[in-house]
Structure 1
Amino acid sequence: MLHLFRTTAILEGISYLALFAVTMPLKYLADLPMPNKYVGYVHGFLFIAYIVLAIVFWRSQNWGFKKGFILILASLLPFATFYVDKKYLAPREA
């Protein structure tokens, strides 16, 4: 479960950045809307998958409201899924 959630978190973060940093400028500055459409579909799927997996993971870990809220909020902010991965999901070194 952890591996799937971590992978989804990273892919969701990458798709978020690709959507807004790459395909939005292509759509509005270069009049190329198709990349935005397809990256948007992928990002939408990953966003929903991230939310579902975040809730499942949060409940499976018996974390409090604050950590759960952070997991969900991370899906809305650029770079935040990378932060969540590093702070809450990455294995701790001894």
Structure 2
Amino acid sequence: MDIKTASSLHRLRLVSAPEGVSFLLLLTCSVLKRTVGFDAVFPMGLIHGILFILYVLFWLDAWNRTKWAFKTAALYFVLSVLPFGGFVAERRLKREAENAVIASRARREGVVNA
């Protein structure tokens, strides 16, 4: 994995957890607005919207650089619209990055998979 690919995965991973948190906070603000009159939906919606746009842009960049199969790319997109999906995406991306580093080190050291 080259440095640009690793960077694109890292950016996607960094924005996935905050995007997930902002989504949950937006849902909470929506419930609070309708139950107790606490109205923070607009600012939270703005923050979540910006994070979601960043997630989609970073997702497109990662898909382009990693050459994911359509199924994998679609999974990461679907995770962005599920309430806890951002956290799942972050864990999967972390695992994928760790595996890529291990494979890169093995290739560099000349270790052949038997």
Give the TM-score category using the shorter length: 0.7 to 0.9
Partner of residue 31, structure 1:
37
Look up the match of 2:46: 41
Superimposed CA distance per residue, residues 42-86 of structure 1 (whole angstroms, 9 cap, x where no aligned partner): 001111111111011111111110111011111111111211111
Partner of 1:92: 98
Across the aligned residues of Structure 1 and Structure 2, the Cα RMSD in angstroms comes to 1.5
TM-score in terms of structure 2 length:
0.73
Counterpart for residue 73 of structure 1: 78
Aligned to 2:77, what secondary structure does the other structure show?
Answer: helix
Query: 1:19 corresponds to which residue?
Result: 26
Alignment of 1:48-67 (within 5 A): 48-67=53-72
Distance 1:26 1:38 in 2: 14
> With structure 1 as the length reference, what TM-score do the two structures score?
0.87
* Structure ID, larger Rg: 2
- SS state of the match for residue 44, structure 2? helix
Q: Name structure 2 gaps, 5 residues minimum.
A: 1-6, 103-114
* Aligned-partner residue type, residue 47 of structure 1: F
Please tell me the residue identity of whatever aligns with 1:42.
Answer: I
The Cα shift of 1:92 comes to: 3.0
Moved over 4 A (4+): none
Percent sequence identity over aligned pairs? 30
Counterpart residue type for residue 63 of structure 1? W
5+ residue gaps, structure 1, are: none
